Amino acid sequence: MKISIFGLGYVGVVSAACLGSDGHSVVGVDPNTSKVDMVNAGKAPIIEEGLGGLLESGVQAGFISATSDAEAAVLCTNVSFICVGTPSQSNGSLDLTYVRRVCEEIGKAIKLKQEFHVVVARSTMLPGSMKDTVLPILEKTSGKIAGKDFGVCINPEFLREGTAIEDYRNPPKTVIGEMDERSGDLLGELYSELNAPLVRTDLATAEMVKYTDNIWHALKVGFANEIGNVCKHAGIDGHRVMEIFCADEKLNLSSAYLKPGFAFGGSCLPKDIRAISYKAKSMDVELPIIDSILPSNQKQIERGLDMILSTGNKKISILGFSFKAGTDDLRESPLVEVIERLIGKGYDLRLYDRNVNLARLTGANKEYIHNVIPHISQLMVDNLEEVLEHGDTIVIGNRATEFKQALAMTSNNQSIIDLVRISEETSNKDKYNGICW
């Protein structure tokens, strides 16, 4: 494949070297003539293990070259990668000056081509940047229509400095955000030999994935450091604690708990966060990340409540209000707080939860239900059909299996507030609203 790569910085030059070593014809494009001259001489303009050897062999074999002539580069290739920098501005937003400039250059060159050309962004950009910046500039300067006359994709990179070539060869995943299937097919061919999952999705999702990855990495570092700081002051080896923590690949290092939804609750998580926070304060150790967990959780409760209030309906039915499906535990259930606040605002509620109904009669929560939240107990009904008939707004509070079927029993006149994504496929009902989807 013939590929032009705009920007011979870290991502661009590593991509050029790896693609060239795979036998593709690659031309790097950069206004910095020093970088162009170094690449043409087979020398790496950055320090990266193994990069110099790949560039040297690629140039000698005739697979890699560089130029400052953007138009010529586009005209002699069928795919253009955008790998320019997107630095932060003082307010935290991104400076897309280089992206705009390169898009203008590519668009003007595409205007001169008859062949279908694919533009692929590898630069890290906020969700919406492709739609609001890249596409309009390419269409305006080329006079053509994206997705029809030329292709557009975003292909976020997951390269770490110092291990970039290894990361390119052995990625955890390859993500292609595509505007049109033809372009996604062409780009997918470049990665067909890689032993990694290939994920094809829309442009905005691919943009967001890169940020999600990086923020998660930063959060892990900060979390480990805060645990280590508590351990240090308590006379504990923080490395040993985290080694044991990381040995759990079922819950700790896994996809467990990483599905967006409603707030957490129960007898363990809130209590233990408060306890460690208290312990840290007693040792004069600040924990900004850990101390922010419960306030963040509270914001999610408020977000759910606001969604219910926004329907404008006074008659509310709630399906499931234990803190998770399969339990009768109401301790620190976020749904209980929502229910109490709705009661305080004068809403007409009916509540249904098969497990809590049983607990009200015989379970360990019997005393809690009757003595601590008797006002809630009086609103509970034993029949699912009855609670569905009552509400103009139906709130799905946990993932009990029966609630998936209950969703199909609602009418199009009822508003549905889904706090748990009861179905992996979002509902096609007109008034369905999920909390994070």
The annotation places the binding site for substrate at 158-161, 210, 257-261, 265, 324
Cβ atoms of 256 and 250 within 8 Å: the answer is: yes
Q: How far is residue 119's CA from residue 26's CA, in Å, rounded to a whole number?
A: 14
Instruction: Give the sheet arrangement for strand 415-418, strand by strand.
Output: 348-352, 315-319, 393-396, 415-418, 432-434
Cα distances (Å, whole numbers) of residue 219 to 49, 259, 290:
27, 16, 11
For 70, residues 6+ apart whose C-beta sits below 8 A from its C-beta are 6, 29, 102, 105, 106, 109
Cα distances (Å, whole numbers) of residue 255 to 139, 173, 176, 252, 259:
39, 15, 21, 8, 8
Determine the 3-state secondary structure of 219 from DSSP: helix
Cβ neighbours of 299 (radius 10 Å) = 11
Q: How far is residue 91's CA from residue 208's CA, in Å, rounded to a whole number?
A: 20
Cα distances (Å, whole numbers) of residue 78 to 27, 153, 170, 357:
11, 13, 25, 65
- Retrieve residue 14's tokens: 């590593």
- Binding residues, by number, are 30, 35, 86, 124, 158-161, 210, 257-261, 265, 271, 324, 331
Cβ neighbours of 90 (radius 10 Å) = 6
Longest Cα separation, the chain: 82
Q: How far is residue 375's CA from residue 322's CA, in Å, rounded to a whole number?
A: 16
Cα distances (Å, whole numbers) of residue 32 to 65, 86, 105, 232:
14, 17, 15, 49
| Active-site entry in 103, 231, 268, 436 | 268
Cβ neighbours of 186 (radius 10 Å) = 20
Per DSSP, the residues of 286-314 read: --HHHHTHHHHHHHHHHHHHHHHHTT--S
Q: Among this protein's residues, is 268 annotated catalytic? A: yes
Cα distances (Å, whole numbers) of residue 227 to 280, 291, 341, 398:
10, 12, 35, 31
- Binding residues for NAD(+), by number, are 30, 35, 86, 124, 161, 271, 331
Q: How far is residue 353's CA from residue 357's CA, in Å, rounded to a whole number?
A: 6
Q: Residues with catalytic annotation?
A: 268
